[in-house]
Amino acid sequence: MDDIEVPQYFICPISLQIMKDPVTVITGITYDRESIEHWLFTSKNITTCPVSKQPLPKDSDLTPNHMLRRLIQAWCTQNASHGVDRIPTPKPPLDRFQVLKLIKHLWLPQFQLKTIGQLELLAAESERNRNHMVEAGVPRAMLSFIGMCFKKGQTDGLEEALSVLKFIPIPSAEIKQVLVENDHIIDSLTWVLRCEMKNQITVKSHAMIVLKTITKAAGSRVLERLEPEFFKTIVRVLRCGITQQGINAALHVLLETCPWHRNQIIMVEAGTVFELIELELGFPENRTTELIFGVLFHLCSLAEGRARFLNHRGSIAVVSKRILSVSPAADDRAVLILTMICKFSGTHMVIQEMLKVGAVSKLCSLLQVDCGTYLKDRVKEILRLHSKEWKDSPCIGVSQDQYLR
């Protein structure tokens, strides 16, 4: 657009762009619909009018300012030669009744794929649409649709249904109700993770994000009865590759389900320990490391888990190297993992390996920095256990040798 002056009252006070769909709120201020909806629906606190600072309820009426919109459209048309794009007349906003009609069409075979495509577009369009869709029960309908696909072995529409669920949060109470009514929903999502289909990396990542939401809301009655195939599938997906968001979601699922002893045994047998170490060797983002170490800590509470950990040649080295380089949470989990190894699997070979890869030196360094008393006590416990083997080693610096005596 050429350097022309835009009338100030055409500009949205929030986005500072020309308004495409001007609406007036109860305080008398006009904003672009998309901007004020985002302001209202994403705020976690009591909302106020951005300009007047007066209270502005989340369910405030947004009155279309048709006259201002026509003025803006006319001005854009007059200035088209200066590179100003014409603003089309906006579509009427979605309401709850339209959404309910679409949900009904979802169960009619002849309208199914078209309807689910429409729902995906509406979910991507605006915050207001997403709120109406939650109120109308779209998340629950999507979970039911995925369950139907599982029973029929149908993959058409899965990508769109999972995309909708990525846009729209599933209310916790709704998940619990679905789990009561449909105990196959976790099996359905596990099946999606095993399917071969177009755009499967995206589809499986979205399925994993939904699975994370469900496992977080599910109770022990569900989580302590998960099938071995569930864990094998998650490990297989981590091995084959999904998006970073999908990886973190998968790790959240493992972390939510691994406190149960039965699940720990199944995870270890599924090869989880090896895959997590391989993932960590790829230098993931900090949050991923924290999640990996959280799961490894639980699995190293088992003798077989520690054996699998030590069978990987890079295990002790990678855990040690992350100390003081990721976050306090990662340090905490790394020390707990090494505590398990030293207390219950501290053979001569393991103790020498810790010395060789710098684990002992890193533990001594933790005592020299500002970290929690609890963590320092854990470190001292490890160092006391094997101080005889470590204290005279040339791998330990002079300043650190004091902690081994």
Q: H or E element: which one contains 270? A: none
The yes-or-no verdict on residue 46 having pLDDT over 70 is no
The pLDDT of residue 386 is: 85
Q: What's the pLDDT score for residue 398?
A: 45
Contact (CB, 8 A) for 132 and 177: no
For the chain, give the percent of residues with pLDDT over 90.
Answer: 67
- Kindly report the pTM of this predicted structure: 0.81
Query: What tens digit of pLDDT does each residue of 254-299 get?
Result: 999 999 999 999 999 999 999 999 999 998 999 999 999 999 999 9
Summarised one tens digit per residue, pLDDT across range 147-158 is 999 999 999 999
Q: What is the CA radius of gyration of the chain?
A: 28
Query: pLDDT for 345-387, tens place per residue?
Result: 999 999 999 999 999 989 988 988 888 888 999 998 998 888 8
399 pLDDT above the threshold of 60? no
Q: What percentage of the chain reaches a pLDDT higher than 70? A: 95
The owner of tokens 């979601």 is 249
The pLDDT value given to residue 3: 73
Burial class (CB in 10 A: 0-12, 13-18, 19+), 339: middle
DSSP 298-336: HHTTSHHHHHHHHHSTTHHHHHHHHTTTS-HHHHHHHHH
Render the burial of 150-168: b for 16+ CB within 10 Å, e for the rest: beeeebebbbbbbbbbbbb
Mean pLDDT of 313-322: 96
| DSSP annotation of 91 | P
Q: Minimum mean pLDDT among 50-64, 218-232, 316-330: which range?
A: 50-64
**At a CB cut-off of 8 Å and minimum separation 6, what does 2 contact?**
82, 83
CB distance 100 to 136 below 8 Å = yes
CB 339 within 8 A of CB 324: no
